[in-house]
């Protein structure tokens, strides 16, 4: 099979198109013919050596959709989708013509999603669900402020929060575009400001002076002061990333007086089997149309896979997918 591959870390130019042995369905695996695989920012960071635990040489790629071509008989020919914190890191990933995963990890693709759409959902929605539902335990009637709402994870958080019956405040440099799913579920939008106090004041104005019950910070680092300031008493801050700096200053007196909870959330801890169990929970929302992935804006062949990585590294708007 053909696959993108790298044997040392660096910018996307370290990727090459290689001929690799076809994976097999031995040892409890199933083999998937990849129809589409998105390129996530974490894939770019992985190639650059900025993600922990990657074993080289490696085929990268976390998200995928495709058709089962070998494995359990009742799965052969099934359309599937998936993601995982191990694929592309400690086992070969989805930026290839074929992918082997444990048969127990197979998850049926929602019929209402195209292969391209299904390939963009995994990392974003699993990370969003894990942080919103399981980590923060957002409840109906609560308010949530989503920093980075225009991104893939932030937009997924907004949709999940709306489904839970929460009041959703989006925060970003610019409002989400009208054609994005987040735009249709926001109750309010606050422009991201370098002055944390101004962000806090606007969030408090929108919440009757209380602040947000949950802040989901899909940016982190540069946004941490504003995120902490925007929290209500006993508010929960979910952190999934750090941009600009890994370290921030926190006023511990303010922290304990506010009884703030700071919660880390890392979808990399979930392997492909665990991740796809979450996709099974999410599938009915996609089938009903309640959840929608970000629009696909850029499509690449495997031969142009390096260009897909360069586009994501340059923060090109919209999702980029590789179509083997």
Q: CA-CA distances (angstroms) from residue 281 to 160, 240, 246, 284? A: 12, 21, 33, 7
Query: Are residues 220 and 201 part of one domain?
Result: yes
Query: Are residues 135 and 114 part of one domain?
Result: no
Query: Are residues 193 and 135 part of one domain?
Result: yes
Q: Residue 153: its pLDDT value, please?
A: 96
> Is residue 181 one of the residues assigned to a domain?
yes
Query: Are residues 167 and 247 part of one domain?
Result: yes
> Is residue 283 one of the residues assigned to a domain?
no
Q: Residue 317: its pLDDT value, please?
A: 83
Domain range for residue 164?
A: 124-267
Query: Are residues 237 and 148 part of one domain?
Result: yes
Total number of domains in the chain:
2
In a 13 Å sphere around the CA of 157, the CA atoms on its Cβ side amount to: 37
> Is residue 275 one of the residues assigned to a domain?
no
Query: Are residues 151 and 90 part of one domain?
Result: no
Structure pTM? 0.95
Mean pLDDT, all residues of the chain: 96
Percent of the chain with pLDDT over 90: 95
> Is residue 281 one of the residues assigned to a domain?
no
Q: Residue 62: its pLDDT value, please?
A: 98
Q: How far apart are the first and last CA of the chain?
A: 10
Phi and psi at 112, nearest 5°, equal -75, -10
Query: Are residues 251 and 140 part of one domain?
Result: yes
The single-letter DSSP state of residue 304 is G
Question: 179-221: per-residue pLDDT in tens?
Answer: 899 999 999 999 998 899 999 999 999 999 999 999 999 999 9
**Which tokens belong to 55?**
């074993």
Q: Residue 244: its pLDDT value, please?
A: 87
| Residue 59 and residue 302 in contact, taking contact as beta carbons nearer than 8 Å | no
Q: Can you give the C-alpha Rg of the chain in angstroms?
A: 20
Could you tell me the CATH number of the domain that includes residue 27?
3.90.180.10
DSSP sequence for 123-137: HHHHHHHIIIIIIS-
Query: Are residues 134 and 69 part of one domain?
Result: no
> Is residue 288 one of the residues assigned to a domain?
no
The single-letter DSSP state of residue 109 is P
Q: From its phi and psi, is residue 3 left (phi > 0), alpha (psi between -120 and 50) or beta?
A: beta
> Is residue 147 one of the residues assigned to a domain?
yes
> Is residue 287 one of the residues assigned to a domain?
no
DSSP sequence for 172-214: ESSPPPTTSGGGGT-SEEEE--S-HHHHHHHHHHHTTTS-EEE
Query: Are residues 54 and 130 part of one domain?
Result: no
């Amino acid at each position: 099979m053909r696959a993108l591959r790298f044997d040392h870390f660096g910018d996307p130019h370290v990727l090459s198109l290689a001929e690799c042995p076809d994976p097999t369905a031995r040892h409890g695996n199933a083999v998937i013919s990849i129809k589409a695989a998105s390129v996530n920012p974490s894939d770019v960071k992985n190639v650059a050596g900025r993600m922990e635990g990657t074993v080289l040489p490696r085929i990268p790629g976390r998200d995928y959709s495709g058709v089962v071509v070998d494995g359990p008989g009742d799965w052969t020919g099934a359309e599937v989708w998936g993601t995982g914190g191990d694929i592309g890191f400690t086992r070969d990933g989805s930026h290839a013509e074929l992918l082997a995963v444990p048969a127990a990890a197979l998850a049926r693709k929602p019929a209402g999603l195209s292969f391209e759409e299904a390939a963009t959902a995994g990392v974003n929605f699993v990370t969003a669900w894990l942080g919103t539902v399981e980590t923060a335990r957002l409840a109906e009637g609560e308010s949530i402020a989503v920093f980075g709402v225009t991104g893939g994870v932030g937009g997924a958080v907004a949709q999940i929060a709306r489904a839970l019956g929460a009041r959703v405040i989006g925060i970003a440099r610019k409002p989400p575009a009208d054609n994005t799913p987040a735009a249709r579920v926001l109750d309010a939008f606050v422009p991201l400001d370098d002055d944390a106090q101004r962000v806090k004041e606007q969030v408090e104005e929108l919440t009757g002076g209380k602040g947000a019950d949950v802040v989901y910070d899909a940016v982190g680092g540069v946004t941490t002061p504003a995120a902490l300031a925007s929290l209500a008493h006993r508010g929960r801050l979910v952190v999934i990333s750090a941009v600009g700096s890994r370290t921030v200053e926190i006023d511990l007196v303010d922290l304990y007086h506010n009884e703030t909870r700071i919660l880390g959330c890392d979808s990399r801890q979930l392997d492909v089997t665990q991740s796809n169990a979450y996709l099974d929970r999410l599938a009915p929302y996609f089938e009903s149309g309640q959840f929608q992935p970000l629009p696909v804006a850029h499509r690449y062949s495997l031969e142009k896979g390096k260009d897909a990585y360069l586009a994501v590294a340059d923060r090109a708007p919209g999702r980029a997918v590789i179509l083997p």
